[in-house]
Amino acid sequence: MLLNNPFDPNSTLHTCSCGQHASQADHDLAEVDALNQRVIQATVMRALFPQDAERRNFLRSVGASTAWAAISSLIPFGALESMAQEKGALEKKDLKIGFIPITCASPLIMADPLGFYKNEGLNVTMMKTAGWALIRDKVLNKEYDAAHMLAPMPLAISMGIGSNAVPIEVMTIQNINGQAIVLANKHKNNRDPKNWKGFKFAIPFEFSIHNLLLRYYLAEYGINPDTDVQLRVVAPPEMVANLRAGNIDGFLGPDPVNQRAVYDELGFIHILSREIWDGHPCCSFAVPTEFIQQNPNSFAALYRAILKAAAMARDPKNRPIMAEVLAPANYLNQPKTVLEQVLTGKFADGLGNVRNVPERVDYDPFPWYSMAYWILSQMKRWGYVKGEVRYKDIAEKVYRLTDARKYMAELGMNPPKENMKKFSVMGKEFDPPKADDYVNSFAIKKV
């Protein structure tokens, strides 16, 4: 099916192997969709023409498209397909889901004690994992069926950047906002980023929104993130320990790590990530394409469970209870008050103020294509992707927006009608179709 890797940035693909699609990627997309249909079609055709010779004669004499029209007028293929997807038995019930102990993972963790997985007939084991590279490896090894991943990871893995190219798809965005820039207490009087040359910052992973946001933020203040500062990859739970040891000057990290640094009187919250880009995606819930193809019913069940959990987590009323449930060692292993401050948005900032920001973290599951566009644009800006980036193909293949809309509508969650939206990052507007112009407009970049 795949002659060339469509995500290989070095290969240009103008037309596809059959010539009917604009590119090989479009061809493949159509083929993946067609695969499920074909199984059903083949079954029906076998029933209609028990003798294969008969079928071939029939098709030869009337032509495939006429035959298709004639048969589909008699047999409701569409209904059969959706029935096969929805009503069938679960292919796999015992699932292992990996997560990193941070508040971004709240919905998918909460779905466990709340019984959302069980209600769908799934027996899910939540596996706490030591770092993002390990999450990636365990998903690629099929030790985990699905996992909590940073929003850029499925894009990077699908393109084969930083690992083998394995198609991984994003079911939902886990959380928006909910990150922060934390600086060590010794920098309390050094809040202007222009003076941060020579700083050492920790980021959770190369392919993280944290890395991209921090780079963006620094560059806006004239600091080149590649040459003026050091960015070190440190797993989120180890950031506070590193701050205490003085190995780093600060970090753009996930919560509850930020609040924990304040709680332990090691650092202060310089800004929340929503002050860079309000509504930015942080983590996503990712599933390998292979799993979806082999287990469509289990996948659908998982989808519903995750969306219900997201709806629950969005409600501010539930946040204090979530803090209580997530605190024990089996999940996040953090003091309850730290989680409560993160989730309710009423927090101590480490500078002696109590701030009240209810939007500090939110759990909007909808995977906007525009999010993928921005992530890809920044990956291009900083040289992670070289050459031409085919934003549309990659976003549409990795982000399962149509499915998200379908299941959200089923659950009465009012999904947005559009696939993309404009937004602004630090006051600069991003228009998704003009992503390449956007990349070129920056003075500091590595292209």
Partner 1 sequence: MFKPQGFQAALISLLLFLLFLGMWSLATFTREQATLSSVDAEYTVLMGKGAEKSSGFPTPSKVGEAFITYLSDPFYDNGPNDKGIGIQLAHSLGRVALGFLLAVIVALPLGFAIGMSPLLLQAFNPFIQILKPISPLAWMPIALYSLKDSDVSGIFVIFICSLWPMLINTAFGVASVRKDWINVARTLEVSPLRKAFQVILPAAAPTILTGMRISMGIAWLVIVAAEMLVGSIGIGYFVWNEWNNLALHNVIFAVVMIGFVGMILDQIFGVLQKFVTYRE
Q: How far is the CB of 418 from partner 1 (least distance, A)?
A: 39
Given the DSSP bridges, would you call strands 361-362 and 176-177 parallel, antiparallel or unpaired? antiparallel
Q: How far is the CB of 164 from partner 1 (least distance, A)?
A: 9
Strand partners, 147: 98, 286
Closest CB to partner 1 among residues 203, 332: 332
Q: Which residues bind partner 1 (CB under 8 A)?
A: 101, 125-130, 134, 137-138, 140-143, 237-238, 240-241, 260, 262-265, 328-331, 333-335, 337-338, 341, 346-348, 352-354
Q: How far is the CB of 265 from partner 1 (least distance, A)?
A: 6
Q: How far is the CB of 362 from partner 1 (least distance, A)?
A: 21
Q: How far is the CB of 127 from partner 1 (least distance, A)?
A: 6
Q: Which of 339, 303, 315, 328 is nearest to 111 (CA)?
A: 303
Q: How far is the CB of 426 from partner 1 (least distance, A)?
A: 28
Q: How far is the CB of 369 from partner 1 (least distance, A)?
A: 32
Closest CB to partner 1 among residues 264, 362: 264
Q: How far is the CB of 230 from partner 1 (least distance, A)?
A: 23
Closest CB to partner 1 among residues 101, 225: 101
Closest CB to partner 1 among residues 59, 134: 134
Closest CB to partner 1 among residues 148, 381: 148
Closest CB to partner 1 among residues 146, 401: 146
Closest CB to partner 1 among residues 26, 255: 255
Closest CB to partner 1 among residues 255, 393: 255
Per-residue HEC secondary structure of the chain comes to CCCCCCCCCCCCCCCCCCCCCCCHHHHHHHHHHHHHHHHHHHHHHHHHCCCHHHHHHHHHHHCHHHHHHHHHHHCCHHHHHHHHHHCCCCCCCEEEEEECCCHHHHHHHHCCCCCHHHHCCCEEEEEECCCHHHHHHHHHCCCCCEEEEECHHHHHHHHCCCCCCCCEEEEEECCEECEEEEEEHHHCCCCCHHHCCCCEEEECCCCCHHHHHHHHHHHHCCCCCCCCCEEEECCHHHHHHHHHHCCCCEEEEECCHHHHHHHCCCEEEEEEHHHCCCCCECEEEEEEHHHHHHCHHHHHHHHHHHHHHHHHHHCHHHHHHHHHHHCCCCCCCCCHHHHHHHHHCEEECCCCCEEECHHHEECCCCCCHHHHHHHHHHHHHCCCCCCCCCHHHHHHHHECHHHHHHHHHHCCCCCCCCCCCCEEECCEEECHHHHHHHHHCCCCCCC
Closest CB to partner 1 among residues 37, 185: 185
Q: How far is the CB of 61 from partner 1 (least distance, A)?
A: 51
Please state the length of the chain.
447
Q: How far is the CB of 177 from partner 1 (least distance, A)?
A: 20
Could you tell me if 17 and 9 are in contact, meaning their C-beta atoms sit under 8 angstroms apart? no
Q: How far is the CB of 128 from partner 1 (least distance, A)?
A: 4
Closest CB to partner 1 among residues 37, 337: 337
CA atoms of 251 and 245, how far apart (whole Å): 14
Closest CB to partner 1 among residues 30, 134: 134
The CA-based dihedral angle spanning residues 351, 261, 259, 111, taken in that order and rounded to the nearest 10 degrees: 180
